[in-house]
Amino acid sequence: MGEGDAGRTSALRITGRTRILFILADPVAHVMGSAYFNDWFSAHGVDAAVSPLHVAPDDLGSVVNAIRRMRNVAGFGVTIPHKIAVRGFLDEVSGRGALIGAVNFVRRDEDGRLSGDNIDGVGFLAGLARSGVAVAGKRVLQLGAGGAGRAIAFALAGAGAARLTIANRSQDKAAALASSVRAAVPACQCMAGDADPRGADLVVNTTSVGLRSDQSPLADPSVLHPGTTVADIIMAPETTRLLTDALARGCRVVRGRDMLEGQIALCARFMRLVPTEADP
Ligand SMILES: NC(=O)c1ccc[n+]([C@@H]2O[C@H](COP(=O)([O-])OP(=O)(O)OC[C@H]3O[C@@H](n4cnc5c(N)ncnc54)[C@H](OP(=O)(O)O)[C@@H]3O)[C@@H](O)[C@H]2O)c1
């Protein structure tokens, strides 16, 4: 799940027919993705509503098992710190959820069966596509190898990135992720490396650096050229310092909100709130 400063209001009309969803988080005050989901449901005529739930790690199992028995619940999203632990309480985890090692959405079927998936990466790709950015054949510099970074690295490689360099503060995590991506997608030349954007067609910040305005971007923006696309998955501020610098260099930019909006349509299909032709 993403977070951010939505700063918007939703015209919610919740009845006994409404499909209910939750976002499980701890802490919970920063969670704003629910507002975007509710706006999207209103705009698309979907009778569904999302509420954040503050759930401590020790209570996760009992809350998930209670949700299993709530018959008007379509499913739930999970964010920090539950994305890894929640897998132990589910009936099924998708192949990509297993590969990434974390789940961010769980569907509750009519019989109470719980299925987890991770759509952070495909949501990011959907956000790129909405912005007219193709990945196939591109050279990508990814900053970060945390939870979202893992999902995005597998998605970029799966979408045909020719080269993927992963730069992370903890270099062992970048090396381990690069090795897993190479094993999963041998056609992608994936390696751990420096945060040097020279030669990259696409630079992606998947770290939390940029949440605060006093944080300098991890990649030097002065070497960016106008042909480079720069994406930042941070939701708030909507335009991070990295993106401000990239815009000043004439680059195309993609914001964290594009990723979240990419995820919402995929999530609605996964939860069977809208007709599905195929799984996201
Ligand atoms: N737009 C969306 O839909 C969406 C979805 C998911 C997440 N997000 C956002 O993505 C960001 C990351 O989330 P996450 O779940 O991946 O977090 P995470 O698992 O905690 O990973 C954090 C990443 O940031 C790096 N990092 C943190 N502080 C750093 C610093 N001072 N210097 C250098 N690197 C630093 C970490 O490096 P180390 O490994 O060295 O610690 C790691 O790579 C958050 O801002 C989150 O809100 C957005």
> Per-residue pLDDT tens for 12-42?
799 999 999 999 999 999 898 999 999 999 9
Query: How far is 201 from 181, CA to CA, in rounded Å?
Result: 19
Pocket test for ligand 1, best of 82, 169, 239 (most atoms within 8 A of CB): 169
CB-ligand 1 contact for 78 (6 Å cutoff): no
> Side chain identity at 146, as an amino acid letter?
G
Cβ atoms < 10 Å from Cβ of 58: 8
Ligand 1 centre from 274 Cα, in Å? Answer: 31
Q: Which of 83, 207, 214 to mutate to test the pocket of ligand 1 (most atoms within 8 A of CB)?
A: 207
- Residue 167: Cβ within 10 Å count: 21
pLDDT at 202: 98
The four Cα atoms 37, 239, 280, 79 give a dihedral, to 10 degrees, of -60
Residue position matching structure tokens 């993705």:
33
- CA atoms of 270 and 131, how far apart (whole Å): 23
| Among 216, 125, 218, residue whose Cα is nearest residue 165 | 218
- How does DSSP assign 92-158, residue by residue? EE-HHHHHHT--SEEEE-TTS-EEEE--HHHHHHHHHHHTT---TT-EEEEE--SHHHHHHHHHHHH
> Is 149 close to ligand 1, i.e. is its CB under 6 Å away?
yes
Taking the CA of residue 148 as reference, the ligand 1 atom at the shortest distance is 16
pLDDT category, 6, cuts 50, 70, 90? Answer: very low
Q: Is the pLDDT of residue 280 over 60?
A: no
Given a cut of 80, whether residue 200 has pLDDT beyond it is yes
What pLDDT score does 277 carry?
63
174 lines ligand 1 (CB under 6 A): no
Q: Which of 83, 96, 163, 241 is catalytic?
A: 83
pLDDT per residue as tens digits for the range 228-276: 999 999 998 999 999 999 999 999 999 999 999 999 999 999 999 998 7
List, for residues 211-221, the tens digit of each pLDDT value. Answer: 998 999 999 99
217 lines ligand 1 (CB under 6 A): no
Q: Note if 83 is an active site residue.
A: yes
User: What pLDDT does 8 receive?
Assistant: 53
164-173 mean pLDDT: 98
How confident is the model at residue 1, as a pLDDT?
53
DSSP for residue 217: P
Instruction: Tell me the backbone φ, ψ of residue 240, rounded to 5 degrees.
Output: -75, 175
Instruction: Show Cβ contacts of residue 132 under 8 Å, excluding neighbours closer than 6 positions.
Output: none
Q: Give dist(CA 130, CA 15) in Å, integer.
A: 33
Q: At 88, is the secondary structure helix, strand, or coil?
A: helix
Alpha carbon distance 47, 30 (integer Å): 25
- Name the one residue in this structure whose structure tokens are 């939870």: 147
Is it the case that residue 5 has pLDDT exceeding 70? no
Q: Whose CA is nearest to atom 26 of ligand 1?
A: 207
Task: Let me know: does 82 contact 26? Beta carbons within 8 Å.
Answer: yes
207 lines ligand 1 (CB under 6 A): yes
pTM, 2 dp = 0.91
* Pairing state between β 202-205 and 229-232: parallel
Atom of ligand 1 nearest to the CA of 145: 43
C-beta of residue 243 within 8 angstroms of C-beta of residue 265: no
Distance between Cα 52 and ligand 1 center (Å): 21
Tell me what pLDDT residue 279 has.
46
φ, ψ dihedrals at 81, nearest 5° = -110, 25
Report d(CA 122, CA 264) in Å as an integer.
11
Q: How confident is the model at residue 66 (pLDDT cuts 50, 70, 90)?
A: very high
Q: How many CA atoms are closer than 13 Å to the CA of 42, on its beta-carbon side?
A: 14
